[in-house]
């Protein structure tokens, strides 16, 4: 912290540094202070700091000037240094939402002369495969006096679209805190403990082993306070006379997730997340097709050159676990005007099942085939879904069944009666897609010749139906869940509409009319509670295709739409992370879109780039990087296995820049010495220090106690 005289106790001081024009990853933090001097320190990532001064009072003022600030690290009570897991880092610097780092220091008393409190940071310019993020809990509360135990719970729902893995957590209270813990809350109301720590111990980040957080899980942080010695009510506040209730969970995932929970119940609220921030969808952007040298799934099936290893009509695509995707295709079979007969075209005309393996697992970055099954099982495959246990769900409009498969291809459950269309509790008529809830509850779109979505228990027992009031659903073609908002989304293809139903009452809550974009073929969940719709206007000249972002906060409103280039007869899509080679900056979102053309159907990959950005121009063909291998290395390192050949040796350390040295962080970055070892991959690592700068003391505003009425969200954390 640069020189700045404090005249009052409980001073909150902030200073900022501008990061170099390079994409960097923060991989470690070493605190440089003592408990006797500093109550706590926080490191924020900001697009722009709240002040251009070297030091400013951030007790009653903001830390960052714009929305989207993120806590990257916190320290108190002489906690130790922290190192992120191999392959994981906070993305900062050029091309990310974090261009500045802001250090906040809360001094318990007046700042002593010669104080040099700060943090030493380790950064790398290597392209790490996974991004670090943070769940942050804080709340307003008051504690009655003379209570040996007073609980302050703060509950929210994890609205990410992919699992996240907790690797370290930190708790914080003031003097009254006895314990801080996190629980998962199950659907039946039961609690299971995730982590627990005493806030009176050193308040750094405690390592944990890859705690898995799944989309839709309700997570509750609770602080237990002992006010036995207090004679008055204790309020939440920013001084040590007040109390705080904080829990931070660091986690890694392919795309970063930053969420703030203050007890409103969902992290999809606009006040709790930045939907266009790290890991989110860009406010403005475009879809760019991935180059063929980087994306190589099996080639399209061509009737004139039939091959069992080629992709037929790509009817379904779904994100799978650990860097994989699952694809459902039709082999050499084509759905055309002769495929079905009967009054409702409900009976398939083919007498034998498809002979090829039509369920295929691919590496999501390269397109390499990892596994396949399904030969002799399907008549007309339609769509696929992967549940949170990694099981694969498929629908077959030829046999009128929905089926659950193990990843190895073992049939685990079948809904419907094979080859018998119907509309009762044991029959479907050309079912379209399955959505699977956290507790295993099943929702089946039914279908081309029925007008409903059917709900089943995890064991396959019929529970009820979702229908439109007063009219029939014209082909409920795709279904997707958002469990944090307790909603089921249904794509009514032939009416070009999307409907939202309550999971609790099965009642219609609202409708989006997408007639401007055409029939809605597929739905997919995206970052921070987003719902995306794939629309193909097959009757319009040029047959344009769009991916439409629905506004979940205003039913019926559309947040944005992106045109999809070079696609024909799109049928399904999946949201994934962009490939590893694009992970140097903020890793973008990517889409996989499957075609069902009569011949030459493709599985296309598109990168959703923010406005003004382009894919990197690479000299020659770069080597493809396997997403599957990246997952093996990080998960292997977490359990102590040596699976990676990447090693870093840091020979030099950036010295603390003294008074009068205005060289800046760019020069500090360049002072790091690196060496490559045999059979190693050299990556650049920099150890950076928040340094002291000279200059006359700035005027110190009178500090005052901060009440609930004018505490900023950033002042609820410590």
Binding residues: 39-40, 106, 172, 174, 244, 317, 330, 382, 448, 477, 493
List residues forming the annotated binding site for Ca(2+): 317
Q: Could you tell me which residues are annotated as the binding site for Zn(2+)?
A: 382, 477
* 629/363 Cα distance (integer angstroms): 9
Annotated binding site for a protein: 330, 448, 493
- Binning the chain into helix, strand and coil, the percentages to the nearest 5 are 5, 40, 55
Q: Specify which residues 385 forms β-bridges with.
A: 393
* Count of CA atoms in the C-beta half-sphere (13 A) of 486: 12
Q: Distance (Å, rounded) from C-alpha 15 to C-alpha 618?
A: 38
3-class SS of residue 709? helix
The whole-angstrom separation of Cα 540 and Cα 533 is: 18
Half-sphere exposure of 61 (CA within 13 A, CB side): 20
CA triplet 219, 325, 428: central angle to 5 degrees? 85
Closest CA to 263 of 304, 302, 222: 222
Contact call for residues 380 and 418 (beta carbons, < 8 A): no
Pairing of β 324-329 and β 359-363: antiparallel
Contacts of 666 (CB under 8 A, 6+ apart): 20
Q: Which residues pair with 444 in a beta bridge?
A: 434, 454
Sheet holding 476-482, edge to edge: 476-482, 487-492, 497-502, 508-513
* DSSP-assigned letter for residue 94: T
What is the DSSP secondary-structure string of 13-40? Answer: EEEEEEPPSSEEEEEEEEEE--TTTEEE
| CA-wise closest residue to 73 among 108, 105, 44, 38 | 44
CB 650 within 8 A of CB 672: yes
Q: Is 606 exposed, middle or buried (0-12, 13-18, 19+ CB in 10 A)?
A: buried
CA dihedral 10, 28, 166, 202 (to 10 degrees): -40
The Cβ of residue 501 has, within 10 Å, a number of other Cβ atoms equal to 22
Output phi, psi for 522, to 5 deg: -150, 155
- Cβ atoms of residues 429 and 346 within 8 Å: yes
* Nearest CA among 392, 396, 439 for reference residue 412: 392
Of the candidates 278, 163, 162, the residue with the CA atom closest to the CA atom of residue 210 = 163
Within 13 A of 146's CA, how many CA atoms are on the CB side?
Answer: 2
Question: How far apart, in whole angstroms, are the C-alpha atoms of residue 537 and residue 554?
Answer: 24
């Amino acid at each position: 912290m640069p020189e700045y005289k404090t005249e009052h106790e409980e001073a909150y001081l902030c200073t900022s540094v501008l990061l170099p024009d390079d994409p960097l990853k923060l991989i470690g933090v070493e605190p440089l202070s003592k408990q006797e001097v500093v109550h706590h320190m926080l490191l924020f990532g900001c697009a722009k700091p709240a002040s251009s001064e070297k030091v400013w009072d951030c007790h009653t003022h903001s830390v960052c000037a714009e929305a989207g600030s993120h806590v990257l690290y916190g320290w108190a009570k002489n906690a130790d240094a922290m190192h992120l897991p191999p392959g994981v880092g906070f993305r900062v610097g050029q091309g990310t939402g974090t261009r500045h780092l802001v250090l906040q220091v809360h001094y318990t008393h007046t700042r002593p002369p010669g104080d040099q409190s700060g943090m030493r940071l380790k950064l790398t310019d290597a392209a790490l495969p996974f991004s670090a993020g943070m769940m942050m809990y804080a709340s307003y509360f008051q504690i009655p006096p003379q209570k040996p135990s007073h609980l302050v719970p703060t509950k929210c729902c994890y609205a990410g679209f992919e699992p996240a893995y907790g690797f370290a957590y930190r708790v914080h209270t003031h003097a009254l805190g006895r314990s801080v813990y996190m629980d998962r809350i199950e659907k039946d109301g039961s609690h299971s403990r995730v982590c627990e720590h005493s806030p009176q111990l050193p308040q750094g980040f405690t390592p944990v082993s890859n705690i898995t957080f799944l989309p839709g899980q309700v997570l509750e942080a609770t602080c237990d306070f002992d006010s036995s010695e207090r004679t008055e009510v204790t309020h939440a506040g920013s001084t040590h006379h007040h109390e705080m209730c904080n829990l931070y969970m660091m986690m890694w995932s392919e795309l970063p997730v930053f969420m703030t929970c203050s007890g409103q119940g969902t992290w999809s609220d606009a006040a709790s997340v930045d939907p266009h921030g790290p890991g989110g969808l860009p406010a403005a952007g475009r879809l760019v097709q991935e180059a063929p040298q980087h994306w190589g799934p099996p080639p399209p099936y061509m009737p004139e050159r039939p091959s069992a290893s080629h992709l037929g009509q790509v009817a379904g695509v779904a994100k799978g676990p650990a860097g994989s995707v699952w694809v459902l295709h039709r082999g050499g079979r084509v759905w055309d005007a002769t495929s079905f007969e009967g009054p409702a075209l409900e009976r398939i005309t083919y007498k034998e099942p498809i002979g090829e393996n039509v369920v295929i697992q691919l590496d999501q970055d390269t397109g390499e085939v990892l596994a396949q099954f399904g030969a002799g099982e399907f008549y007309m495959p339609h769509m696929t879904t992967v549940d949170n246990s990694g099981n694969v769900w498929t629908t077959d409009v030829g046999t009128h069944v929905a089926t659950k498969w193990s990843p190895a291809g073992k049939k685990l459950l079948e809904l419907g009666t094979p080859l018998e269309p119907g509309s009762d509790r044991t029959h479907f008529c050309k079912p379209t897609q399955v959505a699977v809830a956290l507790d295993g509850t099943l929702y089946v779109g039914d279908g081309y010749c029925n007008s409903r979505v059917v709900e089943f228990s995890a064991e396959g027992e019929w529970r009820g139906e979702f229908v439109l009031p007063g009219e029939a659903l014209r082909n409920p073609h795709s279904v997707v869940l958002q469990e944090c908002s307790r909603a089921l989304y249904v794509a009514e293809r032939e009416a070009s509409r999307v409907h939202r139903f309550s999971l609790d009452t099965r009642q219609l809550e609202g409708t989006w009319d997408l007639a401007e974009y055409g029939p809605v073929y597929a739905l997919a969940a995206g970052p921070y509670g987003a719902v995306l719709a794939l629309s193909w206007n097959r009757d319009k000249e040029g047959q344009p295709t769009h991916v439409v972002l629905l506004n979940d906060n205003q039913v019926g409103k559309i947040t944005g739409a992106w045109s999809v280039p070079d696609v024909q007869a799109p049928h399904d899509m999946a949201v994934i992370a962009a490939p590893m080679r694009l992970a140097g900056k903020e890793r973008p979102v990517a889409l996989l879109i499957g075609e069902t053309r009569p011949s030459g159907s493709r599985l296309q990959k598109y990168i959703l780039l923010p406005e003004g950005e382009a894919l990197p121009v690479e000299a020659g063909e770069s080597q493809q990087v396997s997403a599957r291998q990246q997952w093996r290395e990080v998960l292997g390192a977490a359990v102590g296995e040596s699976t990676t050949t990447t090693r870093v040796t840091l020979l030099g350390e950036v010295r603390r820049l003294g008074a009068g040295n205005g060289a800046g962080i760019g020069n500090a970055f360049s002072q790091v010495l690196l060496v490559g070892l045999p059979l190693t991959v050299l990556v650049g690592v920099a150890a950076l220090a928040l340094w002291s700068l000279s200059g006359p003391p700035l005027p110190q505003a009178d500090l005052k106690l901060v009440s609930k009425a004018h505490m900023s969200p950033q002042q609820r954390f410590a």
